C-alpha cells in the first residue's frame, strides 16, 4: 500500500457540530446519513476541533441522559490527528485501533479530512490475499443460547469487554449474532421514547425477552482456510463489522475489523516484538504509564525467542464501580505471534493489579504452549533415536 494511494482515500464529507449544542439538536443529523456507510461528526469549540462523536455515542446519550439538556461535549471522543506529511498505512491502522472510530482525522493545511475504515480495508485487501483466516481469527468465541435473555447477553458482553456475542442453538450451531447497538436500538431506545411521551415507544420489550427476538440473522460465516481478503469482501458487501468462522455450523472463531487492522500494524512494524497500549476512560500519569510499558516489555523480552515476531495488544477499560477508592478495571490482552494467537481477559480493582493478574493468565497460557512444543520435540527425538 503506497502513500499516494492512501492520500487518495482522504474525503471531506463530514459534519461539524458545536460542543455546546444539546444532543437532541444533533440527533436529527443521523437521518441525513447514509445508513450503509460510516459517517464522521467532528466537534468544534471556540473554532477548534476538540474531538469527534460517534453515532453509538449519540444513541447512548439519548438513552442515558436527558437529550434536551445534555451537551455534546459530554460525549466527545478525543482522537489523534495525523498530519498529511506523516501519513503511512501503519499509522492510519494504529489510529483506527487506538481511537476505536470508523474514521481517522487527517490535518490538511488548515482544514481537516477523514479516511473511512471501509475505504482503508478495500485498499489494503491485496495484502491479505495469501493470509488465511485461521492466522488472525480470535479462537475464543463468546456465545449465548438463543433462548437466553437479552439481560444475560448484555452481562456477557460486559464481563468479557466486548460489544457482540454469537448466538447458538441447543446443538451449539450458529443461528445469529447480537451487538450492543442491537440492544440499544431494539429495546432501550424505544422504551426511552415511551418515557418521554413518544407513543411509538415499544413499552412491552424488556431485557427479559429472549435473544432470538432481537438477534441479526442469517450470520455471515467464513471457513478457517479462506483468505482474509475474502473476509474483507464479505464485510464490505454485507455492511458488517464481523464474520464468524464456522465448520459445519459450529463456531470456531470470529474476525472483526480490528483483527485485520492489528495484523496490518504487525506486518508494518520493523521490530521483532512490540506492545500496543490502548486506554478507555483511564488516565495515567507519565510515571505509571512508563512502569506499565516496562512490565509489558519485560514480558515480551522473556518470551521473544519462543514467540518470534509478535505484537501484544493491551486494552484497559474503566468501569463505573469503585471499591475503596479503586475503580473496577477490565483488561483484555491479545498476543499475536509466530506461535499463534493468545487471548485472555480479566477484571480487578485498580489498573496495576488488574493488568498483572491478567498478564499472569497470559503467561500461563504461553508456558503451556511452550511445554507442549517441548514435549513434541522430546517425543520426536525419542522416536528418531529408537527407530
Same domain flag for 90 and 153: no
Please tell me the pTM assigned to this model: 0.71
- Grid cell 482522504 is found at 10
What pLDDT was estimated at residue 308?
Answer: 83
What pLDDT was estimated at residue 250?
Answer: 94
**Could you tell me if 164 and 156 are in contact, meaning their C-beta atoms sit under 8 angstroms apart?**
no
Same domain flag for 112 and 209: no
Residue 68 is assigned to a structural domain of this protein: yes
What pLDDT was estimated at residue 9?
Answer: 94
Q: How many domains does the chain have?
A: 3
Using alpha carbons only, how large is the chain's radius of gyration in Å?
Answer: 22
Residue 126 is assigned to a structural domain of this protein: no
Distance from C-alpha of 46 to C-alpha of 266, rounded to nearest angstrom: 39
Residue 127 is assigned to a structural domain of this protein: no
**Could you tell me if 319 and 328 are in contact, meaning their C-beta atoms sit under 8 angstroms apart?**
yes
**Could you tell me if 335 and 359 are in contact, meaning their C-beta atoms sit under 8 angstroms apart?**
no
Distance from C-alpha of 340 to C-alpha of 256, rounded to nearest angstrom: 17
- Chunk the chain into consecutive blocks of 10 residues (it has 387) and report each block's average pLDDT, rounded to whole numbers: 88 88 79 68 87 76 72 84 88 87 88 92 94 90 93 87 90 93 74 50 68 91 95 93 93 93 76 80 80 86 82 88 88 86 89 90 86 60 50
**Could you tell me if 15 and 39 are in contact, meaning their C-beta atoms sit under 8 angstroms apart?**
yes
Q: Quote the cell numbers at residue 78.
A: 478525543
What pLDDT was estimated at residue 201?
Answer: 45
The DSSP annotation for 315-336 comes to EEEEEEEEETTEEEEEEEEEEE
Write the pLDDT tens digit of every residue in 328-382: 999 999 888 888 888 889 889 988 889 999 999 998 888 888 776 655 555 555 4
CATH code of residue 186? 3.10.580.10
What pLDDT was estimated at residue 97?
Answer: 86
What pLDDT was estimated at residue 38?
Answer: 67
> Which residues neighbour 287 within 8 Å (Cβ) at sequence distance 6 or greater?
none
249: helix, strand or coil: coil
261: helix, strand or coil: helix
CATH code of residue 286? 3.30.160.100
What pLDDT was estimated at residue 385?
Answer: 52
Amino acid at each position: 500500500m503506497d502513500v499516494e494511494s492512501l492520500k487518495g482515500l482522504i474525503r471531506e464529507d463530514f459534519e461539524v457540530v458545536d460542543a455546546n449544542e444539546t444532543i437532541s439538536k444533533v440527533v436529527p443529523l443521523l437521518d441525513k446519513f447514509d445508513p450503509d456507510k460510516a459517517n464522521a461528526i467532528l466537534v468544534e469549540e471556540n473554532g477548534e476541533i476538540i474531538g469527534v462523536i460517534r453515532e453509538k455515542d449519540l444513541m447512548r446519550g439519548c438513552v442515558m441522559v436527558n437529550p434536551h439538556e445534555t451537551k455534546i461535549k459530554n460525549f466527545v471522543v478525543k482522537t489523534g490527528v495525523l498530519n498529511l506529511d506523516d501519513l503511512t498505512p501503519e499509522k492510519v491502522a494504529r489510529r483506527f485501533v487506538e481511537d476505536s472510530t470508523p474514521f481517522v482525522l487527517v490535518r490538511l493545511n488548515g482544514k481537516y479530512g477523514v479516511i473511512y475504515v471501509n475505504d482503508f480495508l478495500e485498499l489494503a485487501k491485496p495484502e491479505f490475499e495469501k493470509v488465511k483466516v485461521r492466522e488472525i481469527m480470535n479462537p475464543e468465541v463468546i456465545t449465548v443460547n438463543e433462548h437466553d435473555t437479552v439481560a444475560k447477553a448484555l452481562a456477557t458482553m460486559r464481563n468479557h469487554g466486548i460489544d457482540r456475542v454469537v448466538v447458538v442453538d441447543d446443538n451449539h450451531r450458529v443461528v445469529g449474532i447480537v451487538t450492543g447497538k442491537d440492544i440499544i436500538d431494539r429495546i432501550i431506545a424505544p422504551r426511552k421514547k415511551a418515557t418521554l411521551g413518544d407513543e411509538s415507544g415499544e413499552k412491552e420489550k424488556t431485557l427479559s425477552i429472549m435473544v432470538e427476538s432481537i438477534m441479526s440473522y442469517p450470520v455471515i460465516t467464513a471457513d478457517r482456510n479462506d483468505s482474509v481478503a475474502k473476509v474483507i469482501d464479505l464485510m464490505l458487501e454485507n455492511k458488517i463489522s464481523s464474520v464468524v468462522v464456522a465448520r459445519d455450523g459450529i463456531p470456531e472463531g470470529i474476525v472483526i475489523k480490528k483483527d485485520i487492522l492489528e495484523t496490518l500494524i504487525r506486518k508494518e512494524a520493523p521490530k521483532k516484538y512490540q506492545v500496543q497500549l490502548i486506554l478507555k476512560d483511564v488516565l495515567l500519569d507519565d510515571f505509571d504509564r512508563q512502569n506499565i510499558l516496562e512490565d509489558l516489555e519485560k514480558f515480551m523480552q522473556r518470551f521473544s525467542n519462543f514467540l518470534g515476531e509478535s505484537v501484544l495488544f493491551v486494552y484497559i477499560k474503566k468501569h463505573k464501580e469503585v471499591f475503596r477508592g479503586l475503580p473496577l478495571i477490565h483488561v483484555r490482552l491479545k498476543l499475536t505471534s509466530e506461535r499463534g494467537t493468545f487471548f485472555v481477559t480479566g477484571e480487578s480493582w485498580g489498573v496495576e493489579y488488574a493488568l498483572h493478574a491478567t498478564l499472569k493468565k497470559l503467561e500461563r497460557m504461553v508456558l503451556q504452549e511452550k511445554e507442549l512444543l517441548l514435549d513434541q520435540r522430546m517425543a520426536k527425538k525419542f522416536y528418531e533415536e529408537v527407530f
